[in-house]
Chain A
């Protein structure tokens, strides 16, 4: 019973990721795509947690944290590129 519920949750996460993928591909503006990629990262974190429950292991917990960190930094880099045009500056202009 528990396994069935977990697999249904995984399938729902897959459906959500495909729906977000539509927004990433079609999305009319760049912020739409950045938001879509961030949401895909969050959904992947949740799906990885469910997979680690199904496999009944704690070996994925570090991978979950690392994926959260990398998704955060990637989203910040994307949004800085969209806002400023460059990601890494040499000197602050104020």
Chain B
């Protein structure tokens, strides 16, 4: 059956970027306002799910050639590595560090190693959600 869903596909192309940048905002604002790695990862996964619904699995795999199981592995390595940094400088496990830096575009910025741990959580959540959805949707 030929189905013409041009409105859905055109809307998905635009709304994907809105949802994705909102997810990035939630991820980076998680230290001072509600949000963080978990919610940011879920919103990113829902943006990719919108693309999967509007198009199909092969097209989205051509667009984002990512094996999501590796994404989970990279996220776990990043979280564990961030937790293990402090062991090399004679501090207890999971000790976080922060300092203020003067970046060229942002001005005075506080960079915190908890953001790296949060990035690990983000990657794990995106990978696990997309793996579940691809495995369930791929029922042929």
Using CB atoms and an 8 Å cutoff, list the residues of chain A in contact with chain B.
59, 62-63, 65-66, 69-70, 72-73, 76-77, 80, 83-84, 87-94
User: Contact: A70 with B34, CB < 8 Å?
Assistant: no
The answer, yes or no, to whether B63 is at the interface (CB within 8 Å) is no
Number of A-B contacts (CB under 8 A): 57
- Which residues of B are at the interface with A, using a C-beta cutoff of 8 A? 1-3, 8, 15, 19, 22, 26, 33-35, 39, 43, 46, 49-50, 52-59, 133, 136-138, 140
Q: Which secondary structure dominates where chain A touches chain B?
A: helix
With a cutoff of 8 Å between Cβ atoms, the chain B residues found around residue A92 in the complex are 55-56, 58-59
A87 cross-chain contacts in B, Cβ below 8 A? 53, 137
Q: Is the pair A83, B3 in contact by a Cβ cutoff of 8 Å?
A: yes
Q: Given A63-B34, A69-B19, A88 and B46 touching (CB < 8 A)?
A: no
Return chain B residues, CB-CB under 8 Å to A80: 53
> Are A88 and B8 also in contact (CB < 8 A) when A69-B43, A73-B49, A83-B3 are?
no
Smallest CB-CB separation from A59: which chain B residue? B34
Residues of B within 8 A of A72 (CB): 15
Jot down 11 A-B pairs with beta carbons below 8 A, ordered by A.
A59-B34, A65-B22, A66-B43, A69-B19, A69-B22, A73-B46, A73-B53, A88-B56, A91-B56, A92-B59, A94-B2
**Which one, B3, B35, B55, B136, contacts A84 given CB within 8 A?**
B3
Do residues A88 and B53 form an inter-chain contact, with CB atoms below 8 A? yes
Residues of A within 8 A of B8 (CB): 76
Please measure, in the bound complex, the distance between the C-alpha atom of A73 and the C-alpha atom of B50, giving whole angstroms.
Answer: 6
User: Do the beta carbons of A90 and B55 come within 8 Å of each other?
Assistant: no
* A84 nearest in chain B by CB position: B3
Closest to B60 in A: A88
For residue A87, give the distance in angstroms from its CB to the closest CB of chain B.
Answer: 6
Q: A65-B22, A73-B46 are in contact. Are A93 and B53 (CB under 8 A)?
A: no
Name the distance in Å between B74's Cβ and chain A's nearest Cβ.
25
Question: How far apart are the CA atoms of A77 and B52 in the complex, in Å?
Answer: 10
Q: Which residue of A lies closest to B8 (CB)?
A: A76
